[in-house]
Amino acid sequence: MNNIGIAAVIFACLFGAALAAMLIRQLLPSSHLDDQSKDAIKVGMGLIATMSALVLGLLIASAKASYDTQGSEIRQIAANIGQLDGVLADYGEETREIRDLFRRNIAQLTEEVWQRGAARSMILGSAETEAEIWAVHVKILQLAPRDEIHQALRTLAIQIATDLTRGRWHLVAEEGSAIPVPFLVILVFWLTVLFASFGLFAPWNATVLATLFVGAVSVAAALFLILEMDRPFEGVMQISSEPIQKAIDRAAHP
């Protein structure tokens, strides 16, 4: 199920619980709805609201940290792409073949990763990708420096290529959800109970229904955004490939 579907289910749970509680209230004895009962329910709901806020904060922090980390990885990879191409260009005309091969590999990988965001480990971690990246690395190792300057450029190119490989494996390792499913399930359960308590004592009128509707939509939207940040290579909050595209374009038009 995609994130929109999950958000829709969450909204249905929250708003449905409120409506159900408003209907169930009509069947309850008046002693269950007196002031003492209300006070006891408010205390219990206050505890649940506090726990919900804590868990929601943890989910936001976890999703945002994962999103920022992977966004930073992409920017670092883009910087390394531009730097490696520049170093190879400074080395001399003999690296043109390496630069062309490197640029084609990066352009192909970028297109595939952003088309198949959730399956990027199958692309970046495949044997075919490893062979293509290693071919560039081997060609750099095979360069024969003419002097100390070219030796230093070759060494720097090897270091940057190694950093790029490390960044690629970081992206592979970071694939997957940073949000524990039990956390999300428990949070939705608590929020459902809270909305049921709202409906239990609320009068049945258009203003109350509109307020409960907007509240349920707002909570579902917040959880939708959290889920979107947890999957940064797909959806409406997809990390942009622009930094890498710009690095490729600069390499193609020095």
Q: How far apart are CA 141 and CA 157, in angstroms?
A: 9
Per-residue pLDDT tens digits for 54-94: 888 888 888 888 889 888 988 999 999 999 989 998 888 88
Query: Taking residues 182-191, what's their average pLDDT?
Result: 90
Phi and psi angles of residue 98, each rounded to the nearest 5 degrees, phi first: -65, -45
Per-residue pLDDT tens digits for 90-116: 888 888 898 888 888 888 888 888 876
Question: Which DSSP category does 155 fall into?
Answer: H
Q: How far are the Cα atoms of 52, 69, 177, 191, 198 from residue 184, in angstroms, in the given order?
A: 10, 21, 12, 11, 21
Q: Which of 125-129, 132-136, 148-152 has the lowest mean pLDDT?
A: 125-129
| Farthest CA pair distance, the chain | 94
Q: How far apart are CA 97 and CA 93, in angstroms?
A: 9
The residue type found at 4 is I
- List strand residue ranges (DSSP E) for 20-157, in order: none
First to last CA, the chain: 45
Contact (CB, 8 A) for 180 and 4: no
Nearest to 235 by CA among 245, 244, 246, 224: 224
Q: Which of 15-19, 67-71, 90-94, 176-180 has the lowest mean pLDDT?
A: 176-180
Q: How far apart are CA 107 and CA 110, in angstroms?
A: 5
pLDDT band at 200; cut points 50, 70, 90: confident
Q: How far apart are CA 172 and CA 157, in angstroms?
A: 23
Q: How far apart are CA 223 and CA 6, in angstroms?
A: 9
Q: Which domain holds residue 105?
A: 3-25+33-252
The residue type found at 156 is L
pLDDT band at 160; cut points 50, 70, 90: very high
What pLDDT is stored for residue 121 in this prediction?
66
pLDDT band at 156; cut points 50, 70, 90: very high
What pLDDT is stored for residue 116 in this prediction?
65
What pLDDT is stored for residue 196 in this prediction?
92
Contact (CB, 8 A) for 140 and 154: yes
Cβ neighbours of residue 99 closer than 8 Å, sequence gap 6 or more: 85, 88, 89, 251
The total number of structural domains that make up the chain:
1
Q: Which of 7-16, 56-65, 123-132 has the lowest mean pLDDT?
A: 123-132
Report the phi/psi class of residue 244: left, alpha or beta, with left for phi > 0 and alpha for psi in -120 to 50. Answer: alpha
pLDDT at 1 over 70: no
Phi and psi angles of residue 118, each rounded to the nearest 5 degrees, phi first: -70, -20
**What tokens were used for 21?**
């509680």
Per-residue pLDDT tens digits for 240-252: 888 888 888 887 6
Average pLDDT over all residues of the chain: 85
Query: Taking residues 205-215, what's their average pLDDT?
Result: 91
- How many CA atoms, within 13 angstroms, populate the side-chain half-sphere of residue 48? 19
Contact (CB, 8 A) for 139 and 101: yes
